[in-house]
A and B are shown apart, each in its own frame.
Chain A
Amino acid sequence: AQKVTQAQTEISVVEKEDVTLDCVYETRDTTYYLFWYKQPPSGELVFLIRRNSFDEQNEISGRYSWNFQKSTSSFNFTITASQVVDSAVYFCALSEGNYGQNFVFGPGTRLSVLP
C-alpha cells in the first residue's frame, strides 16, 4: 500500500532562515505523482506543486524549491528566507497509477516562522 511519511511534526524557525520539510513516500507503482499542499491558519488547502515519477528535475519557484530523489523515495521542500506568512501546515501527497487514483496525504508538518 502506498504511504507518505513526514517525520517532522513541527518545526520552528526565525524569519529569514531557510527550512527544509522532509517527505518520504512508499509505492510499488512505477507511475505516480507527488504533491505539496499548504494549509494556512485559515484552514483551506492550497496547491503548491505536482511532480510525476518520470521527472526528477528539481524545481524552483521564488523562495520555494523542491528536491525529488527517486533513489531515496524523497520529495523534500525547501523555503528560502522564510517569512511569517509561511507559517502553516504543509502536506506532502502521493497518487498512484496511470490514472492518478488513490490520492493519499502525509500527516503534515506544522511550520512556525517567528518574527
Chain B
Amino acid sequence: DSGVTQTPKHLITATGQRVTLRCSPRSGDLSVYWYQQSLDQGLQFLIQYYNGEERAKGNILERFSAQQFPDLHSELNLSSLELGDSALYFCASSVDGLAGATGELFFGEGSRLTVL
C-alpha cells in the first residue's frame, strides 16, 4: 500500500460527459502528479501540483483540468469526454516537488475510465 488513495477505481461513462477523479496523497506529501496510461500512449505525464499551485504541465488536453486543494487532495476533471480518453489515470505523490531529485513517486492504484 503506497498510501496514495484514488477514487473511483472504475468509472464508465458516455461520450460528451464530464467526470472528476480524486486523489489523496500520502500523509505529509505536498506534491501531486497526474498520469494517463493508455494502451497506445504508455504513461503520459499530465500535470503536477505542489502545495496547491501548479508546478509543471505535460500533455494535458484543454478539456482536462486539475487542482489541488488546501488539504492537499487533488482532483482531475475530464470534460467533453471522447472514446480516446478511456485510460487508466494514475495519481502519484512525493514529499516535495522534487521527486526526481529527492526520491521516488508513490503511485495510487489508478482510476480506470471507460468512455462508451
B101 touches A100 (CB 8 A): yes
Residues of B in contact, count (CB < 8 Å):
26
**Bound CA–CA A95/B101 (angstroms):** 8
B103 touches A104 (CB 8 A): no
**Bound CA–CA A42/B103 (angstroms):** 24
**If A101-B56, A105-B43, A108-B43 touch, does A47 touch B101 (CB 8 Å cutoff)?**
no
B105 touches A103 (CB 8 A): yes
**Bound CA–CA A99/B99 (angstroms):** 8
Residues of A in contact, count (CB < 8 Å):
27
When the two chains form the complex, which single residue of B45, B88, B100 contacts A33, counting CB atoms closer than 8 Å?
A: B100
* Chain B CB within 8 A of A41 CB: no
Q: Which residues of A contact B (CB under 8 A)?
A: 32-33, 35, 37, 42-47, 50, 52, 91, 95-108
